[in-house]
Structure 1
Amino acid sequence: MTPGARPGPEPSAGPPFAVPPGYPIAGYRLGAFLGAGAWGSVHAAEGPDGSPAAVKILGSARFSPGQRRTVARMARSEQRFSRRADHPHLIRTLAVATVEDPDHPALDGAVALVMERAARSLQDLLAEARPGAAVPGAERILTEVCAGLTHMHRAGWVHGDLKPANILLMPDGTAKIADFGLTAELEGTHAYAPPLGSPDHVPPEWWSQRTGARGVAVRPSADVWAFGVIAHQLLTGGLHPFLGATARARSLAAQAYARGAAPLRLDEALPARWRAVVTACLAPGQQERTRTALAVLVARAAARPARRRRAAVRTGAGLLAGGLAVLALAGGPEPAGQGAAHRAVPPLPGAIPADSDVPANYRGMIETAARRCPEPEVTPVLLAAMLKAESGFDPNAARPETGEYGIALWTPSVFEAWGKAATHPGPTSYWDPGDAIAAMGNYACWLDQQLKHRGLTHGLPGLVAAAYRTSDKTVAAAGGVPERVQQHVDKVLQYLRDYGG
């Protein structure tokens, strides 16, 4: 792990500490556990008048001394910002309290923030998306996020951890930015924050930042980069602009692009009207990111009425975010029923032939899994050929003697590592065809990348199939397809030819 870009503790599946039902905090009574992040947990709550709320508890009892200091700093940051923030697209903090309860040591001393309760997060929405098709209301959500981000920047703050999980959707669908634990106040051109963040949404320079006594320097341009990534995800059905089988692979792809070693490859599903915006947000360097975005702003603003142009061209920390809001709103959101061309899923290379024997109910799953991989060899027909060779498309296939199950014949322990590729929230299962196929696509993509790193570039479809049966290390050691899986690989390649691949 590169110094200066250290993630926090892994989020837990359940609450980090038990909270008794009806536990009172700041006049609110806690209810159901809603979720846990790296540093705390969130619970439903009701106010004295029965109004709904959510309570975030930042407890420090389970952390090391260094982590406790980070939690305390984050709590102070969230408290400080929440007292000053007032915007319809920022989650409002209703109360802040320190829990004093020696009878519950895990809670004693924790900081509790009572906030508006949302219906879901943008991460939940993206989990349901189909790659290649914009999520419903994508443009409206982005303009609302822009408005909230603009307000923060103009007020002299950097969010520092903008990502889908931190953008909440209220019951009426309104988008609001949340989680201000890493939010920092600007001191001139930058601020300081703990060296934390989501690898998928931090800018390339984050990975080379040095950590000083006050943390790492963060700038509004970091939020702009994150907004560009989120915009690409929302408008393409969850596709990251720097694709890879893992967050680490995606971050390396972003760094290669920033060094000039690789071009920016925006997905063809990204609407033309947004390509300039996303490209401006993802400019490689911090200063270039600012200049590029402003150049696009000036070009767009020149065609707008003078009054609106004067409102858009302003100085201060919020200039860039304000410009992006104008860009996002240029021409207004698509009228209902007018954006079919943008929402249509473009044809995918290596598409499954209509007259093939691939079951119709699995084709969408296979194409979705392939679209998530940037490697040209991992096509729908390759995944279909692998599935046919593995199980004959039988979701109940089983080889108890080798411990392999389901349509992709996953070994449970291996699936556990790759089941995160599932396209829906909640538990995953190797028996579920959607989960198994999504995980196969993610694993095949990673194997393709690993084989290339090892210098194996000839006959990659067969090598990927062999590595899926064995491992990338086994294939590399053999210098090609190992003898013991040659017959299996021959079947995959024959099916691939049958499908036109």
Structure 2
Amino acid sequence: MSRTSGPLLDVPVGYRIEDWELTGPIGAGGWGSVYAARAVADGTPVAVKLLRTDVLAPGQRASLDELVRQEVRFSQEADHPNLVRTHAVCTVSDPDRPELDGAIALVMDRAERSLQDLLDATEPGEPVPNAARVLRGVAAGLMHMHAAGWVHGDLKPANILLTAHGDVWLADFGLTVELEGTHAHMPPLGTLDHLPPEWWSQRTDARGTVVRPTADIWAFGVLAHQLLTGGLHPFMGATARARALAAQSYARGTAPLRLDDRIPEAWRELITDCLAPDHNSRAPHDAAAVAARIRPLSNDARRGRRVVLPAVVAALMAVCAAVAATLLPGDDDNTGSQRDRSSPSAASSSSVPVAAGAIPADSDIPTALREPITRAANRCTEEEITPVVIAALLKAESGFDADAARPETDEYGIAMWTPSVFRAWAVDGDSDGDKDYMSPPDAIVSMGGYVCWLGQRFKQEGLKKDLPALVAAGYRTSDRTIIETGGVPERILPHVEKVRGYLAEYSG
């Protein structure tokens, strides 16, 4: 089951709810807490979702009751091997535990884990194991739902469950609605990363927001891109809101669709159709058509993948460069910092060719920073954003000083982040669970996401000439400043010239 964030109810192991006994927590989210459980009669494993009612206003309680009734009715009417089943709905009666008294308990099939768990365990850029089989199961479940006249409404990795036997179940039907002709109404809720662009312009009235089956098709396209790239979203942005804005720019025709180059061509075509920019252009690609197209692609999520040589070579050369830098004569500091490139030994220390944009072995870029710099660049789909571009930006911003600070302008760390701006773009670059602008890996990988977005913004506005200079100026000021100026403002030219100089130095 999905291990989502949120406060769990304090329910002891062994707690009985009618014919089921809770055996331990699984996770919690906005809709409630989920527990592993078993049937008292025969030990059959199940999952129990507990929805608190003690903190709800009367109107909220009525809405919750309606959502539960809808979820149960859907589960009874739309039985399918790729849909999780709800076996029972109970109301907890326990006056001694006010937080539990009156809670609604949904007893459901129990899975081993969610697709989100699988994505979290997959290396970014790599397809999840058995990605095609999982997508085939999701498409089959969607096809059955749509044929029965229902829209899921919240299709995302956390709502797709996987069993130890390889079953794929669509789950969490709290926002699932029944079609009334061509559309239905649902509460103005959902997961920003998987909502179609038209959702933002739909009018919301007393019945809710209009939703159609094509909303699930859009969510499937996002999901497929995530599965085939180890979790990468098809729209650039460090936050869900930023990615939603990027999707809206694409839908308006002011930005192209840029899918990850590592996705095989046939899958790219399918995802592109699912991510058609509006309902009308997406309508021909219904769930049945998507399911039919997936069948011949079952072995193509890994076999036959297109190899992107520049990215692969750049990553490999960066690793080689990091090793070589520790072996170069005359460098007692293995961080590689402050190397004097004007000395004869520095000029002749290496004759090994490197891929365009990769970090040269004999540069002053600290060895410890080369991997996060390369990783930051390789996450960007804009070919101009290379490792040496990000290195030049860092050198101009801080001289690679992790403790750099300009308190008078509220800028700190190796990437000179303003803390409030960092929070909007923060990425955990060192996988320690924290996002800290004073941590070089966090700061560098977050910088990569931001400058990649700047590059996309400038291209949307027709500013394509000398993109590294534009993103250097945009990073020091803002995207709006560069767009309104139509290029690099004169007051930023000295800084941009520094970046250009370091870039020329690192590009050899």
Question: Under TM normalisation by the shorter chain, which class is it?
Answer: 0.7 to 0.9
Of 197-206 and 418-427, deviating more is 418-427
TM-score w.r.t. the length of structure 1 is 0.76
Q: State the SS of the aligned residue for 1:253.
A: helix
Q: Give 1:180 deviation, angstroms.
A: 0.7
Which of 324, 327, 340 aligns to 2:290? It is 324
Q: Is the 8 A contact 1:121 1:169 kept in 2?
A: yes
Q: Give 1:139 deviation, angstroms.
A: 1.1
2:387 is the alignment partner of 1:380: yes
Change over 3 Å in CA distance of 1:273–1:475 after alignment to 2? closer
Residue in 1 aligned with 2:501? 494
CA distance in 2, matches of 1:413, 1:264: 29
Residues 110-162 of structure 1 deviation map (CA, whole Å, 9 limit, x = unaligned): 22222233333222333444454323221111111111111212222110111
2:38 is the alignment partner of 1:40: no
Higher RCO, 1 vs 2 (CA within 8 Å, ≥6 residues apart): 1
Which of 357, 361, 369 aligns to 1:355? It is 361
2:107 is the alignment partner of 1:102: no
Which of 337, 342, 345 aligns to 2:305? It is 342
Which of 136, 156, 163 aligns to 1:170? It is 163
CA distance in 1, matches of 2:298, 2:463: 49
Please, what is the CA RMSD of the aligned residues?
A: 4.0
Max Rg structure: 2
Q: Is the 8 A contact 1:133 1:343 kept in 2?
A: no
CA distance in 1, matches of 2:47, 2:413: 39
Q: Is the 8 A contact 2:397 2:415 kept in 1?
A: yes
CA distance in 2, matches of 1:424, 1:165: 20
Q: Give 1:57 deviation, angstroms.
A: 1.9
Change over 3 Å in CA distance of 1:426–1:118 after alignment to 2? farther
Change over 3 Å in CA distance of 1:417–1:207 after alignment to 2? closer
Q: Is the 8 A contact 1:40 1:58 kept in 2?
A: yes
Residue in 2 aligned with 1:305? none
CA distance in 1, matches of 2:454, 2:25: 38
Q: Is the 8 A contact 1:132 1:346 kept in 2?
A: no
Q: Is the 8 A contact 1:131 1:368 kept in 2?
A: no
CA distance in 1, matches of 2:119, 2:159: 13
Residue in 2 aligned with 1:304? none
CA distance in 2, matches of 1:343, 1:26: 54
Which of 395, 398, 421 aligns to 2:403? It is 398
Q: Is the 8 A contact 1:57 1:110 kept in 2?
A: yes
Which of 100, 118, 132 aligns to 1:139? It is 132
Which of 2, 6, 14 aligns to 1:22? It is 14
Which of 28, 36, 52 aligns to 1:59? It is 52
Which of 84, 93, 115 aligns to 2:77? It is 84
CA distance in 2, matches of 1:94, 1:425: 39
Which of 420, 425, 432 aligns to 1:418? It is 425
CA distance in 1, matches of 2:62, 2:441: 42
Percentage identity across aligned positions? 56
Q: Is the 8 A contact 2:454 2:474 kept in 1?
A: yes
Residues 169-218 of structure 1 deviation map (CA, whole Å, 9 limit, x = unaligned): 22344332111111112222222211111222112221111123222222
Q: State the SS of the aligned residue for 2:269.
A: helix
Change over 3 Å in CA distance of 1:432–1:52 after alignment to 2? farther
Residue in 2 aligned with 1:250? 243
Of 343-352 and 278-287, deviating more is 343-352
2:445 is the alignment partner of 1:438: yes
Residue in 2 aligned with 1:306? none
Change over 3 Å in CA distance of 1:248–1:185 after alignment to 2? same
Change over 3 Å in CA distance of 1:367–1:128 after alignment to 2? farther
Q: Is the 8 A contact 2:236 2:449 kept in 1?
A: no
Equivalent residue letter for 2:19: G
Q: Give 1:329 deviation, angstroms.
A: 0.5
Equivalent residue letter for 2:387: P
Q: Give 1:263 deviation, angstroms.
A: 3.6
Q: Give 1:362 deviation, angstroms.
A: 5.3
Q: State the SS of the aligned residue for 1:224.
A: helix
Of 281-290 and 460-469, deviating more is 460-469
CA distance in 2, matches of 1:73, 1:226: 24
Which of 194, 208, 217 aligns to 1:224? It is 217
Equivalent residue letter for 1:185: E
Q: Give 1:245 deviation, angstroms.
A: 3.9
Equivalent residue letter for 1:237: G
Equivalent residue letter for 1:58: L
Residue in 2 aligned with 1:274? 267
Of 364-373 and 186-195, deviating more is 364-373
Q: Is the 8 A contact 1:45 1:54 kept in 2?
A: yes
Change over 3 Å in CA distance of 1:404–1:53 after alignment to 2? farther
Q: State the SS of the aligned residue for 1:398.
A: coil
Gaps of 5+ in 2: 315-355
Residue in 2 aligned with 1:3? none
Q: Is the 8 A contact 2:115 2:157 kept in 1?
A: yes
CA distance in 2, matches of 1:432, 1:176: 39
Residue in 1 aligned with 2:333? none
2:221 is the alignment partner of 1:215: no
Q: Is the 8 A contact 1:28 1:45 kept in 2?
A: yes
Q: Is the 8 A contact 2:175 2:186 kept in 1?
A: yes
Residue in 2 aligned with 1:333? 299
Q: Is the 8 A contact 1:422 1:435 kept in 2?
A: yes
CA distance in 2, matches of 1:278, 1:70: 35
CA distance in 2, matches of 1:442, 1:58: 37
Q: Is the 8 A contact 1:423 1:438 kept in 2?
A: no
Q: Is the 8 A contact 2:185 2:207 kept in 1?
A: yes
Change over 3 Å in CA distance of 1:448–1:102 after alignment to 2? farther
Change over 3 Å in CA distance of 1:346–1:81 after alignment to 2? farther
What is the aligned length? 458
Gaps of 5+ in 1: 1-10, 294-319
Residue in 1 aligned with 2:116? 123
Change over 3 Å in CA distance of 1:41–1:468 after alignment to 2? farther
Equivalent residue letter for 2:153: G
CA distance in 1, matches of 2:18, 2:490: 65
Q: Give 1:400 deviation, angstroms.
A: 8.2
Q: Is the 8 A contact 2:260 2:381 kept in 1?
A: no
TM-score w.r.t. the length of structure 2 is 0.75
Change over 3 Å in CA distance of 1:143–1:451 after alignment to 2? closer
Q: Give 1:76 deviation, angstroms.
A: 2.1
Residue in 2 aligned with 1:370? 377
Change over 3 Å in CA distance of 1:398–1:182 after alignment to 2? same
CA distance in 2, matches of 1:244, 1:413: 16
